[in-house]
Chains A and B, each alone.
Chain A
Amino acid sequence: MTSSEIPILRLGKILLAGLLKELDDKTAVLFADELSRQVSTVGAEAVVLDITKLEIVDSFAARILVEIATMARLLGARVVVAGMRYPVAITLVELGLDLPGVETALSVEHAVNMLSQPGGSRDG
C-alpha cells in the first residue's frame, strides 16, 4: 500500500484533510509522508487537519500530529488541527501531551477563518 487513503483537498494555498474515525498506525505514517510530499509540491501555505471524527488520540497519534506540524513548518506552512473532541483534549492533558508546535481551532471553519486573516495570528 502506498496511499494512506485519506483524501487531501486543495483549497488555494490550503491543504485540507479529514482524518477518519479510526487512525491506525500504518495509515498515520503513510498519511504524514503523503502530506509532506503535497505540501512541498503544491507550495501550500497551510494545512488544516480535521480530527472531528477521531475518537481517541493516543501517544502514537499525537506524535504523528506533532511530526506533521514540524515537517510543515520546516516547509514554510502552518498546520492547524481542527475539531478536537473535548474528551480527547481532556485525555491528552492527562497523558501529558500538549501537542507542542501544533496550532488548534475549534472547527474547520474557525481554522480557515484564522488562516485567511492578514497576519494570521491564532488569537486574531
Chain B
Amino acid sequence: MTDREVMAPGQVSSLQIRAEEDLLAARHAVRAAALEAGFGLVAQTKLITAASELVRNCYVHGGGGELVIERLVPPPRAGLRLTISDDGPGIVDPDAALVDGYSTGHGLGHGLGGAKRLVDEFHLDTGPGRGTTVVITRWVGR
C-alpha cells in the first residue's frame, strides 16, 4: 500500500514484515490509514510511533511477520486497529517485557511498554515457542 491509496471504512489491509525496508513501508501504511481515518497530528504521531516499535520488535525479535491494519467504523467509534504478529520465539516473561528499561535488543527498553501507553487498547498474546501477537487500537477523537 502506498501513501496515495485510500482505505475505505471497514477495510483491512496487510503487509509482510520480512526485510528492514518493510519497517518504513509499515510506517507509511499506518500513516496513510491514520490520515484517512481522520486522526489529528498528535494521535497520528503516537499511533505511527507505536506501530514502529511493534513492527521493529516483530522483525528483530520475531524474525519477521505480518502487520494487519483494520479501519474500524461506528458503532461504537471510528478508529484504527493494528495487529502485529510473528512466529518467533515468543516472550518468556510478558509482564517484565512491558516494564520500561527491559530490553533484550538494541533499543532503550521502552518499546513494548511505551507502545502500550501510546494507544487506547493494547493486547499482548505471547509465550515461549508461541510467537507474539500484539493488537493495538486507537480511537479517533480521544
Interface SS majority for chain B: helix
Segment with Cβ contacts to B, from A18-26, A38-46, A104-112, A115-123: A18-26
Size of the chain B interface, CB-CB below 8 angstroms: 27
Within 8 A of A (CB), among B103-140: 106-111, 113-114, 117-118
**Given A24-B24, A60-B107, 10 new contacts (CB under 8 A):** A56-B49, A58-B52, A60-B52, A62-B110, A87-B42, A87-B44, A91-B118, A94-B46, A94-B114, A95-B114
27 residue pairs of the A-B complex, CB under 8 angstroms, read: A22-B27, A24-B21, A24-B23, A24-B24, A25-B20, A25-B23, A25-B56, A56-B45, A59-B53, A59-B111, A60-B56, A62-B108, A66-B108, A87-B42, A87-B44, A87-B45, A87-B46, A90-B42, A91-B46, A91-B49, A91-B118, A94-B114, A94-B117, A95-B110, A95-B117, A97-B108, A97-B114
A interface vs B, CB < 8 Å?
22, 24-26, 55-60, 62-63, 66, 85-88, 90-91, 94-97
